[in-house]
Amino acid sequence: MKAAVADEPNATTALRQTGWLAVVDTADRSAMSLQIGVLSPGDMPQVARGPQAELLFDGFLFDVPELSKELGLSPDAPEAQIALRAWARWGDECFGHLRGHFAILVLDLTGPRLLAARDQLGMHPLFYAEAGSSLVLASQVDALFRHPGVPRTPNRAVLAERLCHRYIAPEETAFEAIRRIPGGSVFAARPGARRVTRYWDPAPPDRPLAWASEDELEHFDEIFERAVRRCTRMGQPGVFLSGGLDSIAVAAFAADLSAQAGVARPLALSLAFPHPECAEEDMQRDIANGLGMDQEMIPLDVAAGRPGLLRAALAESASWSFPLCTPWTPAYRHLGLRGHARGCRTILTGRGGDERLALSLSCAADMIRDLDVSGLWDHLRGQMKSYRLSRLKIIRTTLWTFGARPLFSGMVDYVAHDWWRRRRLERFRAATPPWLSPDPSLKRELDARVETLLSPAWPPDGFHAHDIRSALTHPLTAAEFEESHELARRVGVRIVHPFWDVDLVNLLFRVPPTLACRDGAASKSLIRQPMEKRFPGFGLRQQKKVMATNYFISLLQAQSGAAWTALGGTPALGALGVVDPAAVQGLMNTWTHGAVPVTAGNVWSIMNVESWLRGHVTA
C-alpha cells in the first residue's frame, strides 16, 4: 500500500480539490497492490498494516474506548488500528461489530482480494469505478475523476428519473462509470470477480420480521440515550433545533448528558421560517430556554443569503456530486457555519425520527386484510392527531390510498397477474412527463427500467414490513445521507443523527403497528410520552407534524422567475436528450403565469438538475 499526494487539480472550486483516491491493480492473480492518492495533504485517510492485511479507514467510530479495550488496544488507539484488529478477530464479519460513520478498505494479502465496506446505514460515502484492469475507489465522486481511466459521462437515465422523481437502483450514481457501494454492504473484488453483499440488515427479507415485544420497547429510552451519548462524546455539540418532537428529544437527552458530565450544554441552532404554517420560533426558544441552552436563531432569508434561497441552492448544487435533495441546504450550511464559529465540533439532528418513530401508512392495508377493526380505528385516530390535514383527506388516504387500494391491486394481481402487471407498467410509463426524454433511445431505456419500480402486489410479510425494509435501500435514502456528509465536510463539523443509530434502528424497525398506535395515540408515542412529561404545558401531546410544502411553493412562485431567467433554459439537459428545451420553456412559462401548485416539484427539479449538470459537464 503506497500513498502519495496528487498534483493540484484544475477544479472549478476548492471544495472539489479534496479527498483521497485508492487504486487497486486487479490484473495480477498472484498479488494485488493498492495505491492511495491524496488530493490535498490534509485528506490522508488512516492506514494500518498487519501481517495478513492492509487497511484504509476514513470516517470515525463511536465507542472507541470500549471497543479498544475489547480488542486489547490502548484507549487512544487510531481507528484504523481498531478496525484492523477487528478484522483479525472477526474476519469478514468485523464490519457489523463497528459503530460509526466509516468507509473501510481491506487488502487481504492471503487472498488476494479487496474488501470495501460502508457503515451499516451508509452515512459515510464510498464509490468505485472500473478503469481497465484497475479498480478505483473514493469517498467523494469528484476524486475518482483524477484517475485518467474514469470518464465524466453523465448517467442520462438517472438524471431523467430524478426529474420525474423515480429512484431505481441504489448502486447507480449520476455518472455512468461510477457505482455506489450501498450502506450495510461489503464489496469484494478479486482478479476477474466482483461481488456486493449485505453484512447488516435489521429485517432480512429471507425470514419473517421478528416483531419487538413490549418488554423490548421498555428499553427504548436507554438505547436512545446511548445513541445520543455516542454523538455528544465527539466534541462540543450543537443541535439543529426545530420545534418538532424529534429534535426536541435529541436536544433534551443531549442537554441532560452534558449536565451529568459537567460540561457545557449543547448550542441550539435554529432557523426561523417566515411562513405561518411552519413558523416555530416560540417553541424553539421555549425549549432552548427550558434546557438551559444558548441559542442561535437565524431567519431563513438571512441564512439563505442575498440572492435568495432558490438561487443559492442552484449555485450550491452545481458543485456537489449529485443534485441537491433539498433546497434548504444553503440555509443549513449557514447555520452550521455559525455553530462552528461558536465552537461546535459536532451537530446533532432529529433526522430519522419520521422514518423510525412514525408508523408506515401501509399498515392500514394489513389491518383491513386481518379484519383488525380496533387497530385500524386506533391508526386512523393517530393520523388525525398527527397531521394538519382535513379529516376527510386523512380518512380517504388511510382507508383507500394506503388501505383498500393495495389490497384490491393484490387481489387483481392474483386473479390476472400478467394483465395486471401490464396495466401497472402502462400507468408508470404514462406518468412520464411529455417534456422528458425526447431521445427515442433514452425513452426506450426508461420504459424498460420502469419494471423495477413494481413492488410486490401482495408482500409476503405484509405491506408495512415491505415499506420499512424498502426504506433502508431506497436510492433517495443513500443520496440524503451523502448530502448530509458533504454538508458536514463543507461546514467543518461532524453531523450526526441519533435516530439513525444502528442499535436504535435494530429496535425501531421491529415495532409492531399494534404497539405503535395503541389507543389512538398520536404518532411517535415512544418519544412523545417522555417529552410530554419533560415539558408539561408545551402542547407536545397535541403537536402535529409541521409541513413546509406550502411555504416552498410560495417561495418558488416568488423566486423561480428570476432564477429561471438567470439560468437561461436547459441547454445542458437538452444536449443530452434528457429534456425537450422548448417544452420545458413552455412548462416554465405556464408556471410563472400562475400554474397550479402540483408542478412545483418539477420546477425545482428541472432547475436543480440543469444547474448541477452544467457544473460537471463543463468542469
235 φ/ψ sector (left φ>0, alpha ψ -120 to 50, else beta) = left
- The region that residue 466 occupies, defined by phi over 0 for left and psi between -120 and 50 for alpha, beta otherwise, is alpha
What pLDDT is attached to residue 469? 82
Q: Give the per-residue pLDDT at 29.
A: 63
Q: In what order do the strands lie in the sheet with 185-190?
A: 46-49, 53-61, 100-108, 113-118, 185-190, 193-198
pLDDT in tens, 401-448: 999 999 999 999 999 999 999 999 999 888 889 999 999 999 999 999
Tell me, what's the pLDDT at 93? Answer: 94
Q: Which residue blocks in 55-178 are alpha helix, DSSP H?
A: 64-70, 79-90, 141-144, 156-163
Q: Please tell me whether the peptide bond between 112 and the residue prior to it is cis, using omega within 30 degrees of 0.
A: yes
Q: Rounded distance, CA 531 to CA 540, Å?
A: 7
The low-confidence residues of the chain, meaning pLDDT below 70, are 1-17, 29-31, 41-42, 517-522, 595-598, 618-619
Strand partners, 599: none
Quote the pLDDT of residue 3: 42
Give the domains, in start order, of the chain with CATH numbers: 2-198 (3.60.20.10), 214-313+326-355+477-542 (3.40.50.620), 361-471 (no CATH), 550-617 (no CATH)
Grid cell for residue 139: 469517498
**pTM for the complete prediction?**
0.93
Q: Per DSSP, what are the bridge partners of residue 116?
A: 105, 187
H-type alpha helices, 297-435: 300-304, 309-317, 329-341, 353-357, 363-369, 373-386, 391-396, 405-415, 417-430
Q: Are 466 and 459 in contact (CB under 8 A)?
A: yes
Place of cell 440524503: 480
> How far is it, in rounded angstroms, from Cα 227 to Cα 526?
15
Residue 403 and residue 387: Cα distance in Å, rounded?
A: 18
Kindly state the helix (H) or strand (E) to which residue 463 belongs, with its residue range.
Answer: helix 463-473
Between CA 121 and CA 479 the distance in angstroms is 12
464/511 Cα distance (integer angstroms): 11
Task: List Cβ neighbours of 297 (8 Å cut-off, separation of 6 or more).
Answer: 270, 272, 281, 284, 285
Q: How many CB atoms lie within 10 A of CB 410?
A: 18
Contact in structure between 588 and 599 (CB atoms under 8 Å)? no
Element containing residue 473 per DSSP (H, E): helix 463-473
C-alpha 68: how far from chain center: 29
Q: How far is CA 533 from CA 284, 323, 527, 528, in A?
A: 18, 42, 10, 9
pLDDT at 6: 38
